[in-house]
Structures are given as C-alpha cells and as structure tokens.
Amino acid sequence: MSMSARESARPLTSLFTDTISDLTNLFQTEIRLVRAEMNEKISRVANSGALIAAGAIVMLPAVFVLMLAIVRWLAVAGLPEQWGLTLVGLVVAAAGGGLVWKGINNLKASALVPQRTIRQVRADLAVAKEQVS
C-alpha cells in the first residue's frame, strides 16, 4: 500500500484526534515557556532592585556629606546658610523626584510581558491554522 493510500485510509477522527493532541502538547510547551520567561524577568527585576538598594545605602552618607559641602561653599560665597540649605534641598528633591519618575516608567507592565513567548504562540497558531485548513 502506498503512503498516500495509507494516509487516505486513516479515519478523519484519527487525524482530528492527532491534531488536538499535538495542539495540546504545543499549548503545554508554550505554558512552560511563559513560566520560564516570566521567572527570568522577575529574577532580573529582583536582582536589579537589590543592587539599586545596596548602592543607594552605600551612597547615602556620601550624598549627605557632599550636600553639606555645597551648603558651606554657598555660605563662603555669601549666601546665608539657611538659604543654602533650602536651595540644596530643593535641587536634591527635584533630582530624586526625577529618578523616581524614571524608575516607575521603566517598570511599566509592558516591560514584563513575555515577548518571545507571544511571538512563538502567534507563529504556532499560524501553523495550526494551516494544518486544520
């Protein structure tokens, strides 16, 4: 019996069952891929957050000393100390606000979307549509 004769002899239900089984396996594989990619992204965010926090803790005393030095230099230049403190405080607050705003924008939900998995699922769906058609 030739190959095409054997394939045409297979019942339609068998072909349908095989296709459903393949799609189920493909879906399970895609779910595992999503989990792996999300775990990778979450791990990267957690590690980055820990490094940022450690760096901020280490830099905090240095920032205070530098701000006091700026206030002293402003006092030497003739600006009263209370105005120097206010000016330095405002500049530092604005810089901190800018950093917080930038950090929030970097952590938008779209940055955590598993892009590779979405592309792969779309490609798989296109292949599945071709097989069913």
List, for residues 102-118, the tens digit of each pLDDT value.
888 877 756 667 777 77
Q: What is the pLDDT of residue 90?
A: 96
List, for residues 40-84, the tens digit of each pLDDT value.
888 888 888 899 999 989 999 998 999 999 999 999 999 999 999
Q: Is the Cα dihedral 62, 65, 70, 76 positive or negative?
A: negative
Q: What is the pLDDT of residue 133?
A: 65
Scored b (16 or more CB within 10 A) or e, 74-109 reads: beeeeeeeeebbeebeeeeeeeeeeeeeeeeeeeee
Which DSSP helix (H) or strand (E) runs through 22? helix 12-76
Residue 10 — very low, low, confident or very high, per pLDDT cuts 50/70/90? low
Residue 2: pLDDT over 60: no
Q: What is the pLDDT of residue 128?
A: 73
Calpha distance 64→20 (Å, rounded): 65
Residue 1: pLDDT over 50: no
Average pLDDT of the chain, as a whole number: 83
Q: Exposed/middle/buried for 71, CB within 10 Å: 0-12, 13-18, 19+?
A: buried
Q: What is the pLDDT of residue 109?
A: 59
Residue 7 — very low, low, confident or very high, per pLDDT cuts 50/70/90? low
